[in-house]
Structure 1
Amino acid sequence: MADDWGMLLFRHLIDAGIEEAEAGELTDDALAEAAAAGVEPGSMYGPALTYAGALARTVRQATRHAAPPPRRRDAIVLRLRNVTKRYRRRQVLREVNLDLRAGEVAAVIGANGSGKSTLLNICAGLTRASSGTVQRTERIGYAPQHEGVAPLLTPAEHFRLFGAACRMNRKEAVSVGSHLAAQLGWRPRRNVVASHLSGGTRQKLNVVLSELNGPDLILLDEPYQGFDQDSYVDFWDQVFRWRNGGAGVLVVSHMLHDLDRVDHVLELQPVGES
């Protein structure tokens, strides 16, 4: 079964325009990760055709981690103009505007139902705005509010998988991921899959994955859910390291006492039916 799935994945990657050598490496990596987890690759990744499409899109969009373009401290990394989102008769967002530059942190606040997560999804390109414009840099990282990790993969396997999409070799990806984890006060244990991690530790994994490729824009949707006090402090220290390094950071937050440390505060109001 694994051989058949692997052959299908390889062929679909070739059909999607991936060079043969790279398609072979991606296929070998997927099969190795599934074997290490003790499951069939189809159970871990889904149909070969679907997974090949996702890999191909990621490869085409990825830039080399080793040589990112230089950051201009005044460059706009995210610009929102009159962004509105409507679901049938219910309007979630109305004319949201923001300019976020490299080396700045913006906090998104608002009551439940005000569209904070919807806005982050729009900024990440996962949801389309009903009207308005969104301009963003190509190199982005995104940590969703709800778990975006594969439950049967270990942290190191996540680092290798996400690193492959960024053209990082396996050793480099694990080294970078482990270093970033340590900055959040977490040292991943070997052979512990994501489903066996605490909720707060899974969120740390999400945060690390969002930064793995050194993005110019980092989108964080309340990623500190489940953090203890020390981890929460480590998280904000990391946010400001990103800012000092020239990245732009957009973070959804309900912790109002931290807002005096950010450059912009975007408060969303519930819109409701219209």
Structure 2
Amino acid sequence: MHTSTRSAVLVQGIYKTFKKSQALQGIDLEVRPGEVMALLGPNGAGKTTLVKVLTTLIKPDSGNAFVNGRHVVDEPEKVRSTIGMAGQYSTVDDMLTGFENLRLIAGLRGFGRRGARRVADELLERFRLTDAAGRTAATYSGGMRRRLDLAAALVGAPPLVLLDEPTTGLDPESRLDTWEAVGELVAGGTTILLTTQYLEEADRLADRITVIDRGKVVAEGTSDSLKATAGQRLVLYVAEDHEIDPATRAAARATGLVPAVDRRARRVEAAVTDGRAALARALAALADEGVEVLEIGLHRATLDDVFLGLTSRARREAA
């Protein structure tokens, strides 16, 4: 059994089944100290189940998981003492002020009265909530509530913070506000395990990304390395509707694949593996078809392309 304390999180072959549903099917995962790891996957992929295992809320059926060197089943209290958690929904008490929420949590974390007040004041200042400290949480905006959630997760300065879909349901402005707050945590040296469905969120915040689907890891790496595995795409636009079909034939000849066509945008695109050579073939094929394009080029794959390719493939294999 490997119990290296060099890992903030170490997951080895975790399985978890609920009735007939296999939520986790042999998950392996490692999060290094000081990094942000994003767990990316569709609804039902197993992200939240894994977080519940790591926070000792549920026990795995088999396998091992260590958090800050502590076994989640054998040493649950020690695990909980070293983590902060912010879930999908706000956990603050609407009837209490921002200050009272943080003072309460500090008390539960073992701080005395004076220490709890000091911690609450420091965190309110850190997350730019000092002016709203005396207002009840019910009056906070979505972004302010999420910042208060993050502040609560940092009471006691835990070395690891788990964020389970922290921006679900937030408006764009509040989402940006939350991302800024997460960035401040990272700058302070906090290790973060983040689950999300938002591709932009993973792309922006994570040092590494683990893509899971149907309880299995289907890919892992940096955002750039994952994009590189998806290659490039040949994308072209035409001016007239009647040019779409000949342009599609030209793209098919150049790439050997069936292109994706957006008739409303008059856009044709297909994956390529040989970049410039495919572009040259496409230009020749378009000339043969007598089509003049408005725009043509090679586009780097996006995280959307990676995510959709990986998860759809995993679901086809499962089926």
TM-score (norm: length of structure 1): 0.63
What does the per-residue CA deviation read over 1:87-108, in whole Å, with 9 as the maximum and x for residues that have no partner? 0111112111111121111001
Equivalent pairs counted in the alignment come to: 201
Task: Pick the aligned partner of 2:196 from 238, 248, 253.
Answer: 253
Task: Determine the structure 1 residue equivalent to 2:24.
Answer: 93
AA aligned to 1:83 is I
Instruction: Kindly indicate whether residue 58 of structure 2 is the aligned counterpart of residue 127 of structure 1.
Output: yes
Q: Indicate conservation of the 8 Å contact 1:117/1:145, yes or no.
A: no
Instruction: Kindly indicate whether residue 269 of structure 2 is the aligned counterpart of residue 269 of structure 1.
Output: no
Q: Indicate conservation of the 8 Å contact 1:78/1:101, yes or no.
A: yes
Task: Pick the aligned partner of 1:117 from 40, 45, 48.
Answer: 48
Superposition deviation, residue 270 in structure 1: 2.6
Task: Pick the aligned partner of 1:157 from 75, 100, 108.
Answer: 100
Superposition deviation, residue 214 in structure 1: 0.6
Instruction: Kindly indicate whether residue 175 of structure 2 is the aligned counterpart of residue 232 of structure 1.
Output: yes
TM-score (norm: length of structure 2): 0.55
Instruction: Kindly indicate whether residue 145 of structure 2 is the aligned counterpart of residue 214 of structure 1.
Output: no
Task: Determine the structure 2 residue equivalent to 1:136.
Answer: 67
Superposition deviation, residue 231 in structure 1: 4.1
Query: Using a 3 Å threshold, how does the CA distance of structure 1 residues 245 and 183 change in structure 2: closer, same or farther?
Result: closer
Superposition deviation, residue 109 in structure 1: 1.0
Instruction: Measure the CA separation in 2 of the matches of 1:184 and 1:191.
Output: 15
What does the per-residue CA deviation read over 1:140-192, in whole Å, with 9 as the maximum and x for residues that have no partner? 00011123223332221111111123333445434443443444444463553
SS in 1 for 2:132: coil
AA aligned to 1:159 is L
SS in 2 for 1:97: strand
Instruction: Kindly indicate whether residue 107 of structure 2 is the aligned counterpart of residue 107 of structure 1.
Output: no
Superposition deviation, residue 246 in structure 1: 3.0
Relative contact order, CA 8 A, sep 6+: which one is greater?
Answer: 1
Q: Indicate conservation of the 8 Å contact 2:143/2:177, yes or no.
A: no
Higher deviation after alignment, 137-146 or 164-173 = 164-173
Query: Using a 3 Å threshold, how does the CA distance of structure 1 residues 234 and 199 change in structure 2: closer, same or farther?
Result: closer
Instruction: Measure the CA separation in 1 of the matches of 2:177 and 2:124.
Output: 10
Q: Indicate conservation of the 8 Å contact 1:80/1:98, yes or no.
A: yes
The structure richer in strand per residue is 2
Q: What are the ranges of 5 or more consecutive residues in structure 2 without an aligned counterpart?
A: 69-78, 216-314
SS in 2 for 1:76: coil
Identity of matched residues, %? 29
Task: Pick the aligned partner of 2:146 from 184, 203, 208.
Answer: 203
Superposition deviation, residue 126 in structure 1: 0.9
Q: What are the ranges of 5 or more consecutive residues in structure 1 without an aligned counterpart?
A: 1-73
